[in-house]
Structure 1
């Protein structure tokens, strides 16, 4: 039994401060014409189509999946902007709806509103305007937030007068912070200072750098010229702010890059050998180091990130030496050749069947049949030709894969001679199943791999970071 296609009512608001009432009221008259079991409702709450792609919109991803699976008959939305702001995403969505015969109905009845059409050119034109409007909204919103943010650390916002006054709770400490950060001269001094004010101001390190780089604290918006913010009580003069940026901006940038590098280098997920739970990753910005550790109710287990990288690299290099690439390629050739042989046999069988049907069609009747395309024999012939074409494509693809395998096998070894961190992460996933870290040693469980010959059972490593 074929599943009845649904009517989807899609609504979206960009921020938490908005509600869906207007969109619900606009689509009520359409819902009243339908039975309850015909209706599906999707609400995207506080989702900005300007800032988030399809991948970051789970409700939209669900809608697209339903459309692709032919589960939707009609889609209702307030207007085009509720679905997409991005031009290319919008056009891709329109094509998907056309392909699966989904009718789009816009429930807004405002002046100048144009209903959905099947004209891709017109929809593209309208989508372009939606994209431009969305970017303008985003630009205006960003500008408004720079000058009138909902909240600002170190300030109290007075809604009645729309002014920002220093918060007495943090103002003294924040003033000291801006004075002190202007005096640092190197990374070590900056790390010590930030670590101190992290506790005093209860701020993370990245936010402290953001505070020192924000012209709002000088009472200015510098995004497009020198725009004084007269509604803001400044913590420093514009001159002091500019001196701070001129002298420290490169230092600030280097510090932020160090933080990002420490955050993203968590390549592995080692397990504590004592309690069998994942080790915790901790970084130290000041020393520019990181480590994995476990301090549960057993002997302390700790290993430095760089030590673990060296250990894994040593094991992976040894595993790579023991990888029988020639045997792997040989088996791949045998497998592909066997596959090709099967396909060629099937192609030949289809060729015989096609010739037989061709003869039957030609000899069946001497009279012209105006409806020849609906003839069962003709349809069967077309189906056989399609199957033959698909097999021939598969055969060509198999031959291409085989050529690629032979070529890549030659490049593989030279590519991996210098194991950088990205390559190491990939090789780790290929060869290593689990890492168990104990107080005095590390156990590495290798992936069971037919082409991996016997490797060394034990390595000795004298590290520098391990505790």
Structure 2
């Protein structure tokens, strides 16, 4: 049995309890538990989860015949990682049982499983957004504040003397007009607040200090927060930071530095982040961890601009009509197979009913026929469910194709959309001294000669 929980609020006992009736069918000595605690499927890759890796190794050693898990999202919220796991399962002829009440049964179709995985991935992105929203409204810890929880209520009060230092930092930064003045202020408050330059930038870009949050440029007042600065001062500081474009770009680079980490093109090892220092004009970079390739490095700003450019061009080169035609053709083929199988099962069920009536007096034969009838009825329900799933896929795919046409490959596409797509489309990025190489997915749908 595999269990994954990402937060303290999620319950290992609940996942195990939902599998009680299934586990009771096996001797205790044959039940092995693989658990990953405090692991987020949206943030942690398959290869970085020790519990899941032990499960995969046991499968490959042919020590596992059945995997019991609550639902697909416990395995992965990334479609490609989930399908890679499915391929391993099927290669070793392992049965999968989902115990969640509303989780559809595991199928032998990669296409159907990919559809369910896409749904789980979409839910994962919604969860990540909800978590970000919750963190903005109720940060677990924020320098300058003490978080107090009483009688189910949360409030934030100033933590002195840091709150006063941060208040003074906002007041000083509201009046700077040059990078020289800004550097002077930062040098002064870096020692007082005991945070590096980039952390000071993030403090100044956090509206929570003025007891507000911004949602799509709309301001929401937080009554449970004791303000450290005023909204007017926050806005003035924000304007000053935006004027100093280089500093703003550096902060942006730092914020994106944990997405799509590359590998060294020479040794294949993951590259590491070397922090930048704006005031010393040192940009943050990715560098190879090994000493022999230490000079293989690229600034994160250059690296991410290159990714955005390539993904944007790649999307523009997708032949939407070709994609729709091929996918709908495949869906129709699967529908035809399912309907033919359903007809065969219905015919077999009619024949079984005839035989049951014919051999009604022979108990042993009748018992065998009734057991076979029950098996056919289960298989028939599975085919009905499969046909319903294919109908759902057609609807969802039509919506996805529309979004690609109207939004994702339009000139109005947002950077956040591009990053989400980059994570889905890019298998691996290798950095060399003079070039970046990417392995991309979905090449089947690219117009000939377009990319």
Give the TM-score normalised by the residue count of structure 1. 0.51
Moved over 6 A (4+): 257-260, 281-284
Check 1:96–1:258 CA distance in 2 against 1; reply closer, same or farther (3 A cut).
closer
Check 1:55–1:246 CA distance in 2 against 1; reply closer, same or farther (3 A cut).
farther
Q: Does 1:144 align with 2:134?
A: yes
In the other structure, the counterpart of 1:423 is 433
CA contact (8 A) 1:259 1:285 kept: no
Q: Does 1:124 align with 2:114?
A: yes
Distance 1:11 1:202 in 2: 40
- SS in structure 1 opposite 2:33? strand
Distance 2:253 2:134 in 1: 31
Q: 2:173 aligns with which of 175, 181, 204?
A: 181
Check 1:120–1:287 CA distance in 2 against 1; reply closer, same or farther (3 A cut).
closer
Distance 1:252 1:289 in 2: 11
In the other structure, the counterpart of 2:91 is 99
Output aligned runs, 1:170-319, within 5 Å: 170-224=162-216, 225-249=218-242, 250-254=245-249, 256=251, 286-288=279-281
In the other structure, the counterpart of 2:320 is none
Distance 1:287 1:140 in 2: 37
Q: Does 1:48 align with 2:40?
A: yes
Distance 2:50 2:434 in 1: 33
In the other structure, the counterpart of 1:274 is none
Q: Give a deviation string over 1:84-108, Cα, whole Å, max 9, x none.
A: 2223322332233123211111233
Check 1:118–1:156 CA distance in 2 against 1; reply closer, same or farther (3 A cut).
same
CA offset at residue 164 of structure 1?
2.0
- SS in structure 1 opposite 2:202? helix
Check 1:190–1:72 CA distance in 2 against 1; reply closer, same or farther (3 A cut).
farther
- SS in structure 1 opposite 2:87? helix
CA contact (8 A) 1:187 1:251 kept: no
Check 1:219–1:123 CA distance in 2 against 1; reply closer, same or farther (3 A cut).
same
CA offset at residue 121 of structure 1?
4.0
Q: Give a deviation string over 1:138-194, Cα, whole Å, max 9, x none.
A: 221211111122222212223233222222332211111111222333444433432
Give the TM-score normalised by the residue count of structure 2. 0.52
Q: Give a deviation string over 1:69-94, Cα, whole Å, max 9, x none.
A: 54431111112221122233223322
- SS in structure 2 opposite 1:137? helix
CA contact (8 A) 2:170 2:234 kept: no
CA contact (8 A) 2:35 2:52 kept: no
In the other structure, the counterpart of 1:163 is 155
Q: 2:74 aligns with which of 53, 73, 82?
A: 82
In the other structure, the counterpart of 2:302 is none
Check 1:285–1:129 CA distance in 2 against 1; reply closer, same or farther (3 A cut).
closer
Q: 1:13 aligns with which of 5, 9, 22?
A: 5
Check 1:212–1:43 CA distance in 2 against 1; reply closer, same or farther (3 A cut).
same
CA contact (8 A) 1:191 1:285 kept: no
Number of residue-to-residue matches in the alignment: 273
Distance 2:124 2:277 in 1: 41
In the other structure, the counterpart of 1:365 is none
Check 1:174–1:223 CA distance in 2 against 1; reply closer, same or farther (3 A cut).
same
Check 1:54–1:189 CA distance in 2 against 1; reply closer, same or farther (3 A cut).
farther
Cα RMSD (Å): 3.7
In the other structure, the counterpart of 2:303 is none
Distance 2:131 2:27 in 1: 40
Distance 1:96 1:221 in 2: 45
- SS in structure 1 opposite 2:65? strand
The structure with more radius of gyration = 1
In the other structure, the counterpart of 1:22 is 14
CA offset at residue 33 of structure 1?
4.0
Name structure 1 gaps, 5 residues minimum.
1-8, 268-280, 291-311, 314-420, 427-467
Q: 2:143 aligns with which of 153, 161, 169?
A: 153
- SS in structure 2 opposite 1:235? coil
CA offset at residue 286 of structure 1?
4.1
Check 1:128–1:209 CA distance in 2 against 1; reply closer, same or farther (3 A cut).
same
